């Protein structure tokens, strides 16, 4: 076989791999503009538009390869059944429904371990962010992931399945690095979930006025949003967002952000002073649990204070 033939065959193989990913994406098609439990923690403007039933402006064309998402889905398909076998008496990809003001929120809980009253959510992630998750810090789990799982847990409870603990399995797609975070559910989590639903419900009455959280926090998500042109303007394409993002913000959004920055800076300063004052009380105390907190020290003598971890 000549070098030219090898190059041509390699090109065909690359095309075939891309086609395989695209076919998998097409097979996992979701109705655009329908809000699910996995989306309630996303951009509130997109949530409000979906909640109110507004027509989409940018439906997916069915050709996206979505390689990271598909790799994650294939890992789910292999790992979750094995975890279910290990725990026993478990349900994999359990469908859940949660009604809120006449709107059915739907989703699929990755793994419900009946005997442990435990609900687990598997997140496959970029290996470079694996260290941002701390088993002792539930707050290290992004709020959107927590709201998603709290919704699953509430749906299970309404279906008569008791859930006492929720957990997140963060697994990097490249090397298998692992972080696990578990917490015990309380009424606070249910209130947090319903507060978010109430916010979305409220903004759904005037969705075009809702904050563009995605543009501010995760602009890359805007490129995939089915309401992209409704939100950012007619003709705005995914490739435009990076170069035109700053000019898309309105004067009111800039003014609101400036005020938020000032208030946050003040709160940050006050929090820093409170932290330093607390440190003077805590540093040198014996390692151990104190109420809902625990003190530990590294080999180098660096103090760490974390919440007491709930153990399953």
Q: What is the pLDDT of residues 46-105, one digit of tens each?
A: 999 999 989 999 888 767 778 888 888 899 999 999 999 999 999 999 999 988 777 788
Q: What is the pLDDT of residues 144-162, one digit of tens each?
A: 999 999 999 999 998 999 9
Which residues lie closer than 8 Å to 74 by C-beta, 6 or more apart?
none
Of 29 and 194, the one with more pLDDT: 194
Q: What is the pLDDT of residues 259-287, one digit of tens each?
A: 998 999 999 999 999 999 999 999 889 99
Distances 113 to 126, 154, 179, 230, 293 between C-alpha atoms, Å: 27, 15, 19, 41, 28
Q: What is the pLDDT of residues 159-215, one digit of tens each?
A: 999 999 999 999 998 888 899 999 999 888 989 999 999 999 999 999 999 998 888
Which residues lie closer than 8 Å to 9 by C-beta, 6 or more apart?
1
Phi, psi (5° rounding) for residue 235? 90, -10
Of 4 and 85, the one with more pLDDT: 85
Phi, psi (5° rounding) for residue 91? -120, 125
* pLDDT at residue 114 is higher than 90: yes
* pLDDT at residue 5 is higher than 60: yes
Q: Please tell me the predicted confidence (pLDDT) of residue 252.
A: 87
Tell me yes or no: is domain 31-249 CATH 3.90.320.10: yes
Q: Please tell me the predicted confidence (pLDDT) of residue 28.
A: 74
Q: Please tell me the predicted confidence (pLDDT) of residue 167.
A: 94
Q: DSSP string of 154-172?
A: HHHHHTT----EEEEEEEE
A 10 A CB-CB count for 282 gives: 13
Q: pLDDT-based confidence at 311, cuts 50/70/90?
A: very low
Of 305 and 26, the one with more pLDDT: 305
Domain-by-domain residue ranges, the chain? 1-29, 31-249, 252-307
Q: pLDDT-based confidence at 1, cuts 50/70/90?
A: low
Q: Please tell me the predicted confidence (pLDDT) of residue 166.
A: 95
Average pLDDT, the chain: 88
Phi, psi (5° rounding) for residue 96? -130, 150
């Amino acid at each position: 076989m000549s070098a030219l033939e090898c190059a041509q065959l390699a090109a065909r193989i690359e095309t075939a791999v891309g086609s395989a990913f695209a076919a998998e994406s097409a097979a996992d098609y979701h109705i655009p503009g329908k809000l699910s439990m996995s989306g309630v923690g996303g951009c509130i403007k997109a949530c409000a538009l979906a909640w109110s039933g507004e027509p989409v402006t940018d439906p997916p064309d069915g050709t996206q390869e979505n390689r990271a998402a598909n790799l994650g889905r294939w890992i789910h398909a292999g790992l979750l059944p094995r975890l279910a076998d290990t725990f026993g008496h478990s349900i994999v990809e359990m469908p859940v429904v949660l009604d809120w003001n006449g709107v059915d929120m739907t989703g699929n809980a990755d793994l419900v371990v009946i005997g442990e009253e435990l609900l687990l959510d598997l997140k496959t992630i970029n290996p470079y962010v694996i260290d941002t998750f701390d088993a002792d810090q539930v707050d290290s789990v992004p709020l959107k992931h927590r709201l998603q799982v709290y919704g699953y847990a509430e749906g299970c409870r309404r279906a008569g399945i008791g859930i006492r603990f929720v957990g997140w399995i963060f697994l990097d797609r490249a090397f298998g690095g692992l972080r696990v975070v578990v917490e015990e559910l309380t009424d606070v989590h249910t209130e947090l979930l319903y507060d978010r639903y109430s916010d979305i419900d409220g903004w759904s009455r005037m969705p075009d006025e809702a904050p563009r959280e995605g543009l501010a926090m995760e602009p890359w998500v805007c490129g995939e949003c089915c309401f992209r042109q409704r939100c950012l303007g007619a003709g705005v394409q995914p490739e435009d967002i990076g170069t035109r993002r700053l000019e898309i913000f309105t004067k009111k959004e800039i003014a609101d952000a400036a005020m938020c920055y000032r208030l946050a800076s003040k709160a940050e300063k006050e929090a820093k002073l409170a932290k330093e004052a607390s440190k003077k009380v805590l540093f040198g105390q014996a390692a151990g649990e104190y109420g809902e907190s625990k003190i530990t020290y590294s080999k180098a003598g660096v103090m760490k204070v974390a919440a007491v971890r709930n153990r399953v």
